[in-house]
Amino acid sequence: MAQLVSTIALSHAPGLTGWLDKAPKEEQDSLVNGFSELGRILRDTRPDVIIGVANDHVLNLEFQNTPDFCVGTSDKWEGPAEWFKDWVAVPHYEVAGNKQVADTLVNAAGREGIRFAFRDKLLFDDNWSVPLYYLTPDYDIPLVPIHMNCVVPPLPQPEYCYRVGQTIAKIVRDELPDDMRVAFMATGGLSHDPGGPKYFDVDEKFDRWFLGLLEEGDPEKVLREATIDKMVAAGDGGTSELLAWLVTMGAVGDRPAKTVCYEPAVELRCGMGCVYWDMS
Amino acid sequence: MAQLVSTIALSHAPGLTGWLDKAPKEEQDSLVNGFSELGRILRDTRPDVIIGVANDHVLNLEFQNTPDFCVGTSDKWEGPAEWFKDWVAVPHYEVAGNKQVADTLVNAAGREGIRFAFRDKLLFDDNWSVPLYYLTPDYDIPLVPIHMNCVVPPLPQPEYCYRVGQTIAKIVRDELPDDMRVAFMATGGLSHDPGGPKYFDVDEKFDRWFLGLLEEGDPEKVLREATIDKMVAAGDGGTSELLAWLVTMGAVGDRPAKTVCYEPAVELRCGMGCVYWDMS
Amino acid sequence: MGIMNTNRTLPSNLMVFELRRDLTLFQRFRQNIEPIMEMYGLSEEEKQAFRDENIKKLSELGVHPYFLPQISRIFHGSAYNHNNSEAAQVYARNMVDGADQEG
Amino acid sequence: MGIMNTNRTLPSNLMVFELRRDLTLFQRFRQNIEPIMEMYGLSEEEKQAFRDENIKKLSELGVHPYFLPQISRIFHGSAYNHNNSEAAQVYARNMVDGADQEG
Ligand SMILES: [Fe+3]
Ligand SMILES: [Fe+3]
């Protein structure tokens, strides 16, 4: 049995790399320090692979056939995708994948009644490019990316996302190679509204409420209270990316989250923060 | 509001057209007469369009991204697909589609929390070729084909299939053009096992039990008793095509089905039959 | 509007989806939007909204919200996309100010 | 075996899926299965099972059940596919008799 050594969740919005200098100095410092600290926490657990889950910004998952979740089965990834290069503004990078882990996730989840789509080509935008830049600047930990649908109706429900996380944790435990050390990472959120009237706003109140809720470590309460409706109300176009955070919560159960940093970064057009769960 | 004028369900296995002469004469007569009678029942209701739902025999819906349901949005269809021509052994045919109805189904279902994939190219095998040959030999009623996943795990559950049928009936009622007359057709089943050890068997007992259950007109009982496990036990590879029949049942609610014909057609490697619900 | 009102079968949505994935297509679109809009079968209403860079109208037609700021970036560039950048300001004039006027 | 044990990521499943959709590919496969199996990245175990027309082995590897009689038709033809046809009989010898021997 493999071991889940690290579970984290963090924002990925492109302002963090693309125009960070436009934010107030103290916000910049708080976010850079916080994300760097999260990187140390992650790397200190010496993961052999990161299973990541993040919103697909309608870049890979077609309207014609949007799956809830799509697992990347390649042994090699790169980013950012061409059209997003100057927007995200991080250098081109390559990072290994892990086809064996990805294939196992697909087939084992299917046996549990969870359908994962899969493919060996995925374009990366800010969803992985921004987190990896801060967390693993050497791009030396293989990534199994899971792109999920957070923004094309109908969305996967919070309960289902939680169950998916539980299932991934079970597969890690029961099906991945012995002694493999696995990190689980969600990226996305917090409040933002790309494509809506609140594009230039951040809902700090919602964000602090949501982080506080995760800190309580009560999944039932989270699932009862952190509804899609509430996410959409806090920023229609993007806040529901927090569904990815609920996936990771399914893997940690009733452990309380610990918030590393949070800033209502209006100049970056996104509530930005990161958390981890102590898996020791 | 449009009107649901006709709801039917029938087998589609290729023995009905490909090697019917190998069945005993009385089975041939019973099935040909029964399917022809069902065609009259259908055509007598003068439908402007048939919304059809049937198993995709892993011909269009890829393993990489299997949707539960995929709506065909073309205005023009043809069949059988090349590789299936000599197997199904019906002449090449063309039949109109209805893109407007198809698009409406996709977007309206999305608002109800039901995700329909869609595409304007679908290969037809026996799923439509056999039913249309018997029901509408002039191919003169437009078809909106909905290919569903009955055979790639995880399968859509019976309750969900029923809800999909309810949703389609609601969309017909609330969203399709006034005075449009709509027929709803499921094809597939009954017991058969392509790819399994019961390939040359038919489970007559299961088939008669299932038909009797539909004749009771008690959807709750059907959903409680007609489980995927029971279908799989009656023929692993194909019997779960009856999930398509549960979709149509969602549209008719507690009306009792009327069986037109049934034969345990061992030489055709499929329990064959057809039913209709009186929608008047 | 909003994500829940996305018209998934709208030709504009397929066009924008593919524009960001295919740089050759994107560059052809930048040179002349007309043949690309024709190729994807956009309605006259959709076409006119693109010609006018009428992002609000595209929103009303059911273009996915996520695509709306991207459309402003298709026309005005993505680099250094801060709130005072041209792309963000075009979006603001279309969607935020427009929304205020109606609200 | 059975549908619930399908290995969705198995290269054989993608290959058979596409063979029935693309007649040119199908004809190339009929002439020489080796380069096509190579193209789809089949394991040696999968390749040998195709060389031997070992349908039971393919089933055990997680080929979708629906494909198994189709594989016998790929090699032996689809027309007039009654129970005594060559395709059906090849299937029977592999799967039904084999199952009986084990059962
Ligand atoms: Fe995002
Ligand atoms: Fe079938």
In this prediction, residues C48-70 reach a mean pLDDT of 96
Tens of pLDDT, residue by residue over B133-179, are: 999 999 999 999 999 999 999 999 999 999 999 999 999 999 999 99
- Tens digit of each residue's pLDDT (9 = 90 or more) over B239-273: 999 999 999 999 999 999 999 999 999 999 999 99
Alpha carbon distance A15, A266 (integer Å): 10
Instruction: Tell me which CATH homologous superfamily contains domain B3-277.
Output: LigB-like (3.40.830.10)
What is the per-residue pLDDT for C94? Answer: 87
d(CA B112, CA A53): 26
Question: Percentage of chain D surpassing pLDDT 70?
Answer: 92
pLDDT score, position B237: 82
* Domain-embedded: residue D87: yes
Interval B112-116 mean pLDDT: 95
Q: Tens of pLDDT along D78-102?
A: 999 999 999 999 999 988 775 444 3
| A71, B58, B229 from A122: Cα distances, Å | 9, 24, 36
Question: Which helix (DSSP H) or strand (DSSP E) does residue B51 occupy?
Answer: strand B49-55
Neighbours of chain C (3+ CB pairs under 8 A): A, B
CA distance B119 to chain A (A): 6
pLDDT of residue A256: 98
pLDDT for C98 equals 56
Confidence of residue C101 (pLDDT cuts 50, 70, 90): very low
Domain assignment present for residue D18? The answer is: yes
Q: In this complex, which of D4, D9, D62 lies closest to A118 when CB atoms are compared?
A: D9
Question: How far does the CA of residue D21 sit from the closest CA of chain A (Å)?
Answer: 19
Task: State the average pLDDT over residues D47-70.
Answer: 96
Calculate the average pLDDT of chain B. 97
Please measure the distance between the N-terminal and C-terminal CA atoms of chain A and give it in whole angstroms: 16
With touching defined as 3 or more inter-chain CB pairs under 8 Å, the answer for chains D and A is yes
Residue A142 has pLDDT above 70, yes or no: yes
Query: Which of C75, C83, C100, C101 to substitute to test the interface with A, most A CBs within 10 Å?
Result: C83
Measured CA to CA in angstroms, residue A138 lies from A43, A85, A261, C60, D79 at distances of 11, 18, 22, 44, 59
Mean pLDDT of D58-87: 96
Q: What is the pLDDT of residue C4?
A: 87
Amino acid D98: pLDDT: 56
- C53 inside domain: yes
CB contact set of D22 (below 8 Å; sequence gap of 6+)? none
Helices then strands (H, E): number in chain C? 8, 0
Q: Using a CB-CB distance cutoff of 8 angstroms, which residues of chain A are in contact with residue B159?
A: none
Summarize the confidence of residues A6-18 as an average pLDDT. 97
Cβ distance D9 to A111 less than 8 Å, yes or no, reads no
| Interface touch B63/D17, C-beta < 8 Å | yes
- Average pLDDT in chain A: 97
In which domain, by residue range, is C27 found?
3-95
pLDDT at residue number B174:
97
Q: Tell me, in angstroms, the distance from the centre of ligand 1 to residue C99's CA.
A: 23
Residue matched to tokens 């004039």: C93
- Percent of chain D whose pLDDT exceeds 90: 85
On whether residue D101 sits in a domain, the answer given is no
Greatest extent of chain B over all pairs of C-alpha atoms, in Å: 50
Q: Give D26-35's long-range contacts (Cβ < 8 A, gap of 24+).
A: D26/B83, D26/D74, D29/D74, D30/D74
pLDDT at A197: 86
List chain A domain ranges: 3-277
**Has residue B55 got a pLDDT over 90?**
yes
Q: Do B64 and A110 touch (CB under 8 A)?
A: no
Work out whether strand B69-72 and strand B270-277 pair parallel, antiparallel, or are unpaired. Answer: unpaired
Instruction: Enter the tokens of residue A119.
Output: 């493919």
Residues paired with residue B272 on neighbouring β-strands, in sequence order: B263
| pLDDT recorded at residue D103 | 32
C13 contacts C42 by C-beta, under 8 angstroms: no
Instruction: Please identify which residue in the block is written with the tokens 């109109």.
Output: B96
B55 vs D14: CA distance, rounded Å: 19
B186-199 residue pLDDT tens: 999 999 999 988 99
Query: Does any CB of chain D come closer than 8 Å to the CB of residue A120?
Result: no
Q: Write the pLDDT tens digit of every residue in A209-237.
A: 999 999 999 999 999 999 999 999 999 98
Please state the rounded mean pLDDT for residues A142-161: 97
The pair of three-digit structure tokens given for residue A264, joined into one six-digit string: 């209502």
Mean pLDDT of B214-236: 96
Quick check: C102 pLDDT over 60? Answer: no
What ipTM does this complex have?
0.94
Residues in chain D closer than 8 A to A102 (CB atoms): 9
Cross-strand partners of A95? A77
Question: Is D54 a domain residue?
Answer: yes
pLDDT band at C95 (very low <50, low <70, confident <90, very high): confident
Centroid of chain to Cα B33: 19
Among chain D, residues having any CB pair with chain A shorter than 8 Å are: 4, 6-9, 62
Whether D8 and A111 lie within 8 Å, measured CB to CB: no
In a domain, C102, yes or no: no
Nearest Cα residue to A117 out of A131, A107, A128: A107
Whether A67 has its CB under 8 Å from any CB of chain B: the answer is yes
What is the torsion angle, in degrees rounded to the nearest 10, for the CA atoms of residue B27, residue B32, residue B33 and residue B38? 120
Chain A residue with minimum CA distance to D11:
A103
Nearest CB partner across the interface for A65, out of B70, B113, B114: B70
Task: Give the total number of structural domains in chain D.
Answer: 1
Asked if C9's CB is within 8 angstroms of B106's CB, the reply is yes
Instruction: Give me the pLDDT at residue A38, please.
Output: 98
The first and second tokens of residue B149, run together, are 């996943």
Q: How confident is the model at residue B1 (pLDDT cuts 50, 70, 90)?
A: confident
* Residues C9-43 pLDDT 10s: 999 999 999 999 999 999 999 999 999 999 999 99
CA distance D38 to chain B (A): 20
Q: Which residues contact B243 (CB under 8 A, 6 or more apart)?
A: B55, B148, B150, B155, B156, B158, B161, B188, B228, B231
pLDDT in tens, A153-194: 999 999 999 999 999 999 999 999 999 999 999 999 999 999
Average pLDDT of the residues in A15-25: 97
Amino acid in position B58: V
Strand pairing partners for B276? Answer: B8, B258
Does chain D touch chain C (at least 3 C-beta pairs within 8 Å)?
Answer: no
Nearest residue on chain A to C78, judged by CA atoms? A87
Q: Quick check: A97 contacting B, CB < 8 Å? A: no
Residue A13: how many CB atoms within 10 A of its CB? 25
Neighbours of B160 (CB within 10 A): 17
